[in-house]
Amino acid sequence: MYLTAEEENVLDGEQGETLRKAMEILVALGDIYGADGLIPVKSAQIAGVSYKTMGDAGLEWISDLEGTVKVPSILNPAGMDMVRWKEMGIEPEFAEKQLEIIAAYEKLGISSKCTCTPYYLEGFSATCGDHLAWSESSAVSYANSVIGARTNREGGPSALSAALVGKTANYGYHLDENRVPTVSVVVDHELSGSDYGALGYIAGKEIGNRVPMFHLASTPTSDELKGLGAAMAASGAVALYHVEGVTPEAKQVNFDKPDETITIQRSQLDEVYETIIGNEDDLECDIVAVGCPHCSPEELNRIADLLEGKKIEKELWVCTSREVAQRYPDVVKRIEESGSKVLCDTCMVVSPATEGHNCMMVNSGKALAYVPGMCKVPAKIGSLETCIKRAGGDN
């Protein structure tokens, strides 16, 4: 892999040990995947934030690093709401470690706005064709597919390295030839809301890490596309997809039709809705959680409308980024008047607060794929309306 003289100097340690390690990681990845060199990135989004997944070893590694990131950089969700962690039932020992992790990242110049939806934040937007170094699976999918930006599914260390160097290796989804659809997915029935998450849950298992082109009978909203991509990234490893006539590259590029076609029937979606993942028994869900990925302003408004004048009877979490919540305080207030909790900085997947529950109702294919394995809690998917009703919000 070609390096400029300046990049060689960094690799030789002339700009410090932290940058040397970062460059070493990027060069190793470039060599493995056949990159021709490094390319500048507009921003970085870094996974490996929750103390639940990082542990003491990850905290020690981050704490030893020195330097300042070269591009705007943000974090994945943490293991707790940084303000309301006590309300979540988080133990003080966990909270202390989590705060240390955030402080270690902040020392490097990384924003402590912890979210899987950085594209909703002011000053962190991406546009079609931008090169990024993002790591959270749903954020990668949204950036590549809905925005038309270019990023691989970075690991936490490689995204952090790209942030510190300001560049990433030029391979994978940064290249035109790897963004071509390799399988068609046909859905000839109408879809709405959580149907897209259920579709993604099914499709991801069949597609794996390939690039699908969807042919849909409905035109999805950006929130529905977010749910589709997040689910495929969780149940499979889809980092880029196209939707005929909808997503940027599907409208701009005349792709050849893939040789393979997968058809997904309505009965397959119905089966996902009827199944509790992680348990064969007909369990009663004792908690409801929405906002995986984090809720958009439009989703928060929809939730507030559904909860208007109602009082919930079960725990209901609504996860979003702190910036979005602070931008719409009146909407947050309307939601919380029902007894629901609007939680920021975290989500049900990466927080230990999920553990110990009997069964979780979600409206997300991503949460459906992750919660049973990562939290050891059975999960069931339903529409947003069903989730509100299950929380007791139909009184």
Instruction: Reply yes or no on domain 278-390 having CATH 3.30.499.10.
Output: yes
Burial of 57 (0-12, 13-18, 19+ CB in 10 A): exposed
- What pLDDT, on a 0 to 100 scale, did the predictor assign at position 279? 78
State which H helix or E strand residue 31 sits in: helix 17-33
Say what the pLDDT of residue 282 is.
76
State mean pLDDT over 111-126. 94
**Residue 304, pLDDT above cutoff 60:** yes
For 75-103, the pLDDT digits (tens) are 999 999 999 999 999 999 999 999 999 99
Mean pLDDT on 117-131? 94
pLDDT over threshold 80, residue 263: yes
**If phi over 0 gives left and psi between -120 and 50 gives alpha, with beta otherwise, what is residue 309?**
left
Burial of 301 (0-12, 13-18, 19+ CB in 10 A): middle
Task: For 269-294, write each residue's pLDDT tens digit.
Answer: 999 999 998 876 778 899 999 999 99
Token pair 């499979």: residue = 236
Pick the CATH number of 5-176 from 1.20.1630, 3.30.420, 3.30.1180, 3.30.499: 3.30.499
Rg (CA), the chain: 21
Segments of the chain assigned to CATH 3.40.1060.10: 180-273
Please answer whether residues 232 and 238 qualify as being in contact, where contact means their C-beta atoms are separated by less than 8 angstroms: yes
Confidence (pLDDT) at 123: 84
40 preceded by cis ω (within 30°)? no
Q: State the Cα–Cα distance between residues 205 and 68, nearest whole angstrom.
A: 39
Share of the chain above pLDDT 70, in %: 99
pTM, two decimals, is 0.96
User: Per the CATH hierarchy, to which homologous superfamily does domain 180-273 belong?
Assistant: Aconitase, Domain 2 (3.40.1060.10)
Residues carrying CATH 3.30.499.10, the chain: 278-390
Residue 393 confidence class, pLDDT cut points 50, 70, 90: low
Q: Is 32 exposed, middle or buried (0-12, 13-18, 19+ CB in 10 A)?
A: exposed
Backbone angles phi, psi at 381, to 5 degrees: -100, 145
> Would you say residue 364 has pLDDT above 80?
yes
Q: Which residues are within 8 A (CB) of 87 and not within 5 positions of it... i.e. 6 or more apart?
A: 81, 341
DSSP 322-357: HHHHHH-HHHHHHHHTTT-EEEESB-TTT-GGGTT-
Amino acid, res. 111: S
The answer to whether 99 and 275 are in contact (CB under 8 A) is no
